[in-house]
Amino acid sequence: MAPRLQLEKAAWRWAETVRPEEVSQEHIETAYRIWLEPCIRGVCRRNCKGNPNCLVGIGEHIWLGEIDENSFHNIDDPNCERRKKNSFVGLTNLGATCYVNTFLQVWFLNLELRQALYLCPSTCSDYMLGDGIQEEKDYEPQTICEHLQYLFALLQNSNRRYIDPSGFVKALGLDTGQQQDAQEFSKLFMSLLEDTLSKQKNPDVRNIVQQQFCGEYAYVTVCNQCGRESKLLSKFYELELNIQGHKQLTDCISEFLKEEKLEGDNRYFCENCQSKQNATRKIRLLSLPCTLNLQLMRFVFDRQTGHKKKLNTYIGFSEILDMEPYVEHKGGSYVYELSAVLIHRGVSAYSGHYIAHVKDPQSGEWYKFNDEDIEKMEGKKLQLGIEEDLAEPSKSQTRKPKCGKGTHCSRNAYMLVYRLQTQEKPNTTVQVPAFLQELVDRDNSKFEEWCIEMAEMRKQSVDKGKAKHEEVKELYQRLPAGAEPYEFVSLEWLQKWLDESTPTKPIDNHACLCSHDKLHPDKISIMKRISEYAADIFYSRYGGGPRLTVKALCKECVVERCRILRLKNQLNEDYKTVNNLLKAAVKGNDGFWVGKSSLRSWRQLALEQLDEQDGDAEQSNGKMNGSTLNKDESKEERKEEEELNFNEDILCPHGELCISENERRLVSKEAWSKLQQYFPKAPEFPSYKECCSQCKILEREGEENEALHKMIANEQKTSLPNLFQDKNRPCLSNWPEDTDVLYIVSQFFVEEWRKFVRKPTRCSPVSSVGNSALLCPHGGLMFTFASMTKEDSKLIALIWPSEWQMIQKLFVVDHVIKITRIEMGDVNPSETQYISEPKLCPECREGLLCQQQRDLREYTQATIYVHKVVDNKKVMKDSAPELNVSSSETEEDKEEAKPDGEKDPDFNQIMHAFSVAPFDQNLSIDGKILSDDCATLGTLGVIPESVILLKADEPIADYAAMDDVMQVCMPEEGFKGTGLLGH
């Protein structure tokens, strides 16, 4: 037998044996135990759900036995934030600033650049007070150089594991949440830094960017006719190498320097020959810098999509790069050594993550810089690690080429940094200036203070945890009540007492009280029975209340529960009795009317009513789970959601007996008495009770009205047979010969009248002809004769003169509108004039046309056609399936509002239909160029069923020109508005 049935049977047996006036304290305790379902199930198990005697699994396990001190707090060891010995300092990623962090680390490990920046004069002297730093305010760098100085000093001598570069990023005006192009950032910042340092007096500082990064090459053009050379000198700070179609770095450099033939339309104008001649052009490297930056052009412009994409192809490169074969002047030292590899993780050009592998110039060891995390590579070899596996999904990965000793392959490297090999040992002593070191020392002091504070907080948490441990070990053993005096305490409070992460609050038992301010029987499952000894300690230490002793068990709730249980038990017997009584015929006038729907569901209604009475006590104290709930409001809300109460299904709108006998049934007096025991407030209707007199009158009036409507409909249908059937209707475009006058009514009147004639019992009669809708406020006609034969023909209905006479008899006509045909006779026999009464109002007609045009341009879906012009021939396609709507859709469907966030369709969708990128599209309609891609179709004058002409520009064959196309046709925000462009 199911536990719930066991519970109910046990409760019934107990309730049947004791009368309400005989209930004692022992009976009350017995009732609480019976109504506690888990106790009926048998022996208390571990973590018994709802059993107040079970004190296992409530959170005590974390306090019993030996405990690790770390479990007493969630404060990390501050020493984890300390810089490791012989390691570098990381940089915090502020959201999407990993591209900034990678370059900062690369520049920091350029010792010459760092030393030069340290030599820059600083405004820090204003910040100094006497021999030290002002303690009451923080140092704020004023220039980009000062920001770099302070950052480099912290990266060099800070005790922190990582530092915050937000001051530097803020000074540049960068958006910390937007990923930017790292190569563009490098170019712009080097330009800004060079411009800033150019104002310095010290030549070692003023020229450091050029000395370290600046080389020179020449664009050389040679005329094939006369052999004249034309040179255009240019400085560079990095070489931009195309990697598409190449596998080795040397191949990329060779392509960069390869000779280009200038022939045909691309011939060169020779100053010597004074005419266009065939020529050759190439780049010659004249000088190379100490630090050679090679930008691998992984991010290219895709003409098909109109966006940038990333090339995830492998490129091989060596640790030693001999540039002598590529320079014009031989004999110098041009052997370079790899010093950094910048990596972009991810398959998209618009997202991903930047990291850097950089070699320490002092130790020669490689490190991986990943924002806050710095990892030293094993040995002195470059290890690109798992970065290559993150380039694209594994299914589309190509096999990594084999790399020989001293060479490497990468599908994610976007910049390679080479340092010129020299016989001299690098300067390993880059001293931090005194004023910067003092700032670093102050920051280190703050860090040490923070470490001490965190360590003290950890110690306090441990001490507090140990004290709580002893308290729990002592008190938990005394929690079980046994046979001694006991009290009830909220399980939720006990669990919070055992939870070390939250402070213990005073005991609150209010949510478990009934309306009599005692322990509710249904709340005992969320309480725990503990010893009086433990309760005394809890209340003395934490306070709260009310205390729930054995006297807190509610007698009133027990008696009410017994009453309801007895009624539920009796309900089964009464249900059988009522069914038997319903089978017998009702004699005389002793019967009562009961709704058939109520009879079918009376047992369920009675059971729900008893459950509701039982549940009212649960909420009658005004609180549920600690939240205030107004009793009257909660009952009112439930009442609104309920269906009709018993026997209310035979009430008419006036509160009397309904007139429909199909909805009710006559039952005997005995059956009604049984039903009244469960529904004492149900409406009572003896068999002799008359039906509602008002409903009878309304019924008779309704029958009379229906008969009248049918008679009117038949009369009007007989009088206007052609108008109803729409047969032999006159037409303006083909004017009938047998009449010179036609009358006009609105089509709306005709449709409403036909609805009434078809279904006179469901529709009201049409009493008037409202022709005012066809006239303007001045009383003039809104339509021309030509428009009434075409687009406005759906708004009007033409009437024969004979029909018009009948219409005037049957309906009230507000305005007479007629069209008269006049033959010109001798003046011009072939010409006919049509005169309207009233006459056309030109001003209002013009306004109507303008409004119709505005309405045409306001839509959410429509079919738009596109004609592509190819060699003066047209290829027709729909612009995109998303723009089409079926002609079978209703106007309501077409005008349905777009979901939030959905944008108006734009012409980028044409790209999918014709494979023409947006920047190659020349769109026009009726000779007007469509160039505003932010406007809606309607504001551009593109109405439904319009035809747009598309003429596509021819693709640019020169792939090298794609960057220019991107800048001109697809501008990106990039670093617009930042400090990088401020100079």
Q: Which residues are designated catalytic? A: 98, 353
Task: Say how many C-beta atoms besides its own lie within 10 A of residue 956's C-beta.
Answer: 13
Residue closest to 211 by CA, chosen among 291, 119, 121, 120: 291
Distances (CA, A) of 169 to 93, 172, 351, 978: 11, 5, 19, 10
d(CA 146, CA 149): 5
Report the residue count for the chain: 983
Question: Of 102, 95, 180, 96, which Cα lies nearest the Cα of 374?
Answer: 102
Give the integer Cα–Cα distance in Å for 435 and 139.
11
Q: What is the DSSP string of 571-637?
A: HHHHHHHHHHHHHSPPPTT--EEEEHHHHHHHHHHHHHHHHHHHHHHHHTTSEETTEE--HHHHHHH
Peptide bond into 121 cis (omega under 30): no
The dihedrals phi and psi of 677, each to the nearest 5 degrees, come to -60, -30
Cα 940 to Cα 638, 901, 907, 937, distances in angstroms: 55, 21, 12, 5
| Residue 340, strand partner residues | 358, 417
Contacts of 867-870 with C-beta under 8 Å, sequence gap 24+, read: 867/947, 867/948, 867/949, 867/950, 868/914, 868/916, 868/950, 868/951, 868/952, 869/949, 869/950, 869/951, 870/952
| R_g of the chain, CA atoms, integer Å | 47
| Cα angle: 21, vertex 24, 28; to 5 degrees | 110
The angle formed by the CA atoms of residues 955, 961 and 965, to the nearest 5 degrees, is: 70
Token digits of residue 565: 């249980």
Q: Which residues of 198-214 are buried (b: 16+ CB within 10 A; e: fewer)?
A: eebeeeebbbbbebbbb
Rounded-to-integer distance, Cα 251 and Cα 245, Å: 9
Paired tokens of 653: 């709108």
Query: Nearest 5 degrees, angle CA 406-CA 411-CA 414?
Result: 90
Instruction: Centre a 10 Å sphere on the Cβ of residue 614 and count the other Cβ atoms it contains.
Output: 18
Cα 739 to Cα 3, 455, 720, 806, 819: the distances in Å are 93, 109, 18, 17, 11
Task: Name the residue among 666, 667, 568, 671 with its Cα closest to residue 613.
Answer: 568
Mention every residue, 6+ apart, whose C-beta is less than 8 A from residue 314. 247, 398, 400, 401, 409, 410, 411
